Structure 1
Amino acid sequence: MKKRAVLTLLPLILLCGCWDSTNIEELNMAIGYALDKGDHDHKLKLSLQVLVPQKIDQQASVKDPTKIIETNGNSVHQIFRSTTLKSHRIFAQQLRIYLFSQELINENDFDLVINQFIRDNETRRGSLVFMTSEKPGELLKINDDGQPASSTLYDIAQNTKSSIQLFPPVSLGDISSAMQNNVSFAIPRVSQDKGKLMIDGASIIKNKRFLTNLSLLDVQAYNLLTGKAKGGVIEFKDDKNNIYSYELFKLKQKVRTTKSASGRYQFDVTVEIEGRLSEDWNKRENAFDEKYLRKVEKIVQQKIENNVKNFTEVLQHEFKADICGFYQKASIAYPKDFRKEAKHWDEIFSESDIHYKANVKIRDFGTKGATQSL
């Protein structure tokens, strides 16, 4: 009898539909957050880029299927509540990026700014984080022939195999972990060039505040030092001012960590690099000559080592910020010592010895051969 009653009620339950469903027209699906200093004596200004379902339906005639919602306030949570006074509820399950104002993080601890995002169960910790010296809310308004700014930045961040001067993507979870460990770190920096968004170097965060920016050449050195380079082209000149392009295929990094009796750390970094001589402007080029290739390999090696050496010297002696993760090597090699040193690691890092050696191989040189005998 009970079984028959259950079978009778089951179709009625299935026909009832979802009791807590929401019409798609009433959804505001956020894909990007931009946080800046507030207007009119407010502490914060949050700009949300949200997908508009009605615009998606009309995508053929609408250039950008999103809208920007801007709200001022003194806390992130209250801003979200205030946003509901003028818009449907915001859903962040599809959130792709966070874009923070350099000025905001220069005046406020980063962990306090992202506190609500980290504590919110709906927050995607895998969303990517960027910094800008411009107005982040204005950058969200830039669209690339219908591609929303949030999607554009997310897509550009994936191009690490194409450019060695692109800083590796950094997620909200990465930042939260770095600040819990009280270590310095860097995040990609966004700017615009003739109305187009671009990732232009990186920004260093030290003691939870903005410290300084890294150039594209600095980012290249960072990738070569940390072993995070996945591809891209290294451009350089020889002593006769001939231009070369070396395309990186593969990079393997090894770090040997030692410590002297006086407590001074030494990091011996060795990288094995393989790539292709993809372009040269040497009129006496002969890619089939083994001596010529070995000579170019030596030039590439020297350029890489000089690039990394200059970068590490600035990082240690000017910035005094270990954004390259040497603290992880120290904690693995000397765990007991590091527990005592962690609170002032940047100072210890600035006094450490870093030796860098690059072994470069040219495995390919395209279809071009000898143009003239050497």
Structure 2
Amino acid sequence: MKQSLNNIRPLFVSLSVLLFLSLTGCWSTREIEEQSLSIGLAFDKGKKSFIEKELNEKKEGYYSKKDLITSTYQFITPEVASSITKKAGPQQKSYINVSETGDSVHQMIRELSLKIENPIISNHMKVIVISEDLAKSYNLGQLLDQVLRDNEIRPSCLVLISKGRASKTLETKTAGEIPAFRLVGIVENAYRTARILPTISQIKVESKIHSGSSFLLQKVLSVNGQVKFSGAAVINGKTHKMTGFLNEEELEGVTWITGKGKGGVVKSYDKETGQQIVYEIVSMKSRIKPRVKGNNLSFDVNIESEGRLSETWVVPGDPFKNEFLKKAEKSSEKEVKRLVKNVVEKMQKEYQVDVAGFGNQLRIENPKVWKKVKKDWDQTFSETPVNYNVKLTIENYGTSGSTKK
């Protein structure tokens, strides 16, 4: 037995050596600070850079193209990349933006190799911003075709529409701040407001495009290096182009219809005094119920929410009394109903698109009817009656109030 073990031992040693050789790591990789780490991308209508104008005037070193689109890539600086942090020091430039103009997204990114020293990698791309001018002019499926095919860019990459030039959203005047990360960070505030759409990634955009459904993309406004999420762009399911927009209040109405809000407030006014009452959303749920009677179709939107009375300017007003709480609930319900009715009217009358999921609910609950109407669903929806039922319940009103009976 001992002799047998002695014979096996050299075999184990040989196997161990072979295993160690297979664990030598990625010998063909390059250090992260030797890469151009792309984290943001903006698409605008074509605008030549100073270098391109200079080359064009001298007619040298220029490649054949049409100046249709300007792509702006945001890269983390090598110092930030090597530290693997989201913010650099106060005196340190955290990012660089490089632009190229052309008519092929892939060709433009290859042209960037003539401007920057390190190879470009896009595995950590966080956000793609498209200007509204471009979104109105081009089919999003064509515009995003290259990034959807690129196996380097993750399908979870966020897609936004900008008011004005998209490249401006990738700029900031705050030292150490990285604009692409800032945009992604704002999305995380959805639990604080009903005016931020659930994350729309590029894979979701691709799915909507293939399904032929109309949908919304979050809109972002940039002024002097500061940004704000402001409403949503309406993307038509047939043309795949931006056909209009919803303002912040209208987007809030869509959130109530879908029931996908995680937080926010409803500001209403007391009927008797005209003073403010503020209801804070703790939870919300909504159900869109299709009603089919013969050839007639309608929808019921049933909305329920629990929340708290977070602020009241009503004098006199006693939150400790059920009578006052019921009045506050009715006032808030009236405001939610107004938000919902207004946005449905805009969808049906002005844009004639369904971007709130009415058609999807019909498909789920009555597939036979859906099969008949899906081809021209947006038009059918624009002529379909919608009824609303809103129930808000104040579960908490804090400790401020009168204790007098």
Under a length normalisation based on structure 1, what TM-score does the superposition of the two structures give?
A: 0.93
Structure 1 pair 153–337 and aligned structure 2 pair: CA distance change class (3 A): same
Structure 1 pair 11–318 and aligned structure 2 pair: CA distance change class (3 A): closer
1:29 shift after superposition: 1.3
Q: Kindly indicate whether the alpha-carbon contact (under 8 Å) linking 1:143 and 1:149 is maintained by their aligned counterparts in 2.
A: no
1:51 and 2:76 aligned: yes
Give the counterpart of 2:348 among 316, 319, 332: 316
Q: Counterparts in 2 of 1:6-25, with a 5 A limit?
A: 11=20, 14=23, 17-25=25-33
Aligned to 1:84: 113
Structure 1 pair 250–344 and aligned structure 2 pair: CA distance change class (3 A): same
1:152 and 2:182 aligned: yes
Partner SS, residue 114 of structure 2:
coil
Give the 4+ runs in structure 1 shifted more than 4 A.
Answer: 1-15, 55-58
**Which stretch shows the higher mean deviation, 35-44 or 114-123?**
35-44
Aligned to 2:260: 228
* Structure 2 counterpart of 1:20, one-letter code: S
Partner SS, residue 370 of structure 1:
coil
Aligned to 1:136: 166
Structure 1 pair 82–324 and aligned structure 2 pair: CA distance change class (3 A): same
Q: Kindly indicate whether the alpha-carbon contact (under 8 Å) linking 2:168 and 2:225 is maintained by their aligned counterparts in 1.
A: no
Q: Kindly indicate whether the alpha-carbon contact (under 8 Å) linking 2:36 and 2:75 is maintained by their aligned counterparts in 1.
A: yes
Aligned to 2:102: 73
Give the counterpart of 1:260 among 275, 278, 293: 293
Runs of at least 5 residues in structure 2 that lack an aligned partner in the other structure: 1-9, 49-65
Give the counterpart of 2:154 among 124, 144, 166: 124
What is the root-mean-square deviation in Å for CA atoms of aligned residues? 2.1
Partner SS, residue 344 of structure 1:
helix
Aligned to 2:52: none
Give the counterpart of 1:281 among 307, 310, 313: 313
1:194 shift after superposition: 5.5
Aligned to 1:244: 277
* Structure 2 counterpart of 1:82, one-letter code: E
Partner SS, residue 158 of structure 1:
helix
Q: Kindly indicate whether the alpha-carbon contact (under 8 Å) linking 2:135 and 2:242 is maintained by their aligned counterparts in 1.
A: yes
Q: Kindly indicate whether the alpha-carbon contact (under 8 Å) linking 1:283 and 1:371 is maintained by their aligned counterparts in 2.
A: no
Give the counterpart of 1:163 among 193, 216, 221: 193
1:362 shift after superposition: 0.6
Partner SS, residue 349 of structure 2:
helix
Structure 1 pair 331–12 and aligned structure 2 pair: CA distance change class (3 A): closer
Q: Kindly indicate whether the alpha-carbon contact (under 8 Å) linking 1:246 and 1:279 is maintained by their aligned counterparts in 2.
A: yes
**Which stretch shows the higher mean deviation, 28-37 or 187-196?**
187-196
Q: Counterparts in 2 of 1:296-307, with a 5 A limit?
A: 296-307=328-339
Aligned to 2:138: 108
Q: Distance in 2 between matches of 1:372 and 1:114?
A: 64
1:214 and 2:246 aligned: yes
Q: Distance in 2 between matches of 1:7 and 1:261?
A: 76
Give the counterpart of 2:377 among 345, 348, 373: 345
Q: Distance in 2 between matches of 1:282 and 1:3?
A: 83
Could you give the per-residue CA deviations for residues 90-135 of structure 1, whole angstroms, max 9, x where no partner exists?
2111111110011111111111000111111122111111101211
Under a length normalisation based on structure 2, what TM-score does the superposition of the two structures give?
A: 0.86
Aligned to 2:37: 29
Q: Distance in 1 between matches of 2:11 and 2:306?
A: 72
Q: Distance in 2 between matches of 1:160 and 1:8?
A: 53
* Structure 2 counterpart of 1:122, one-letter code: E
Q: Distance in 1 between matches of 2:97 and 2:357?
A: 37
Larger radius of gyration, structure 1 or 2? 2
Structure 1 pair 12–227 and aligned structure 2 pair: CA distance change class (3 A): closer
Q: Distance in 2 between matches of 1:307 and 1:36?
A: 32
**Which stretch shows the higher mean deviation, 331-340 or 274-283?**
331-340
Q: Kindly indicate whether the alpha-carbon contact (under 8 Å) linking 1:64 and 1:143 is maintained by their aligned counterparts in 2.
A: no
Q: Kindly indicate whether the alpha-carbon contact (under 8 Å) linking 2:130 and 2:161 is maintained by their aligned counterparts in 1.
A: yes
Q: Distance in 2 between matches of 1:177 and 1:305?
A: 31
Runs of at least 5 residues in structure 1 that lack an aligned partner in the other structure: none
Partner SS, residue 350 of structure 2:
helix
1:22 shift after superposition: 0.8
1:51 shift after superposition: 0.9
Q: Distance in 2 between matches of 1:340 and 1:193?
A: 47
Partner SS, residue 153 of structure 2:
coil
Q: Kindly indicate whether the alpha-carbon contact (under 8 Å) linking 1:286 and 1:372 is maintained by their aligned counterparts in 2.
A: no
Partner SS, residue 40 of structure 2:
strand
Q: Percent identity?
A: 28
1:38 and 2:46 aligned: yes
Aligned to 1:60: 89
How many residues align structurally? 371
Structure 1 pair 82–254 and aligned structure 2 pair: CA distance change class (3 A): same
Partner SS, residue 67 of structure 1:
strand
Q: Kindly indicate whether the alpha-carbon contact (under 8 Å) linking 2:90 and 2:176 is maintained by their aligned counterparts in 1.
A: no
Aligned to 2:62: none
Aligned to 2:386: 354
Aligned to 2:397: 365
Q: Distance in 1 between matches of 2:356 and 2:23?
A: 55
1:333 and 2:358 aligned: no
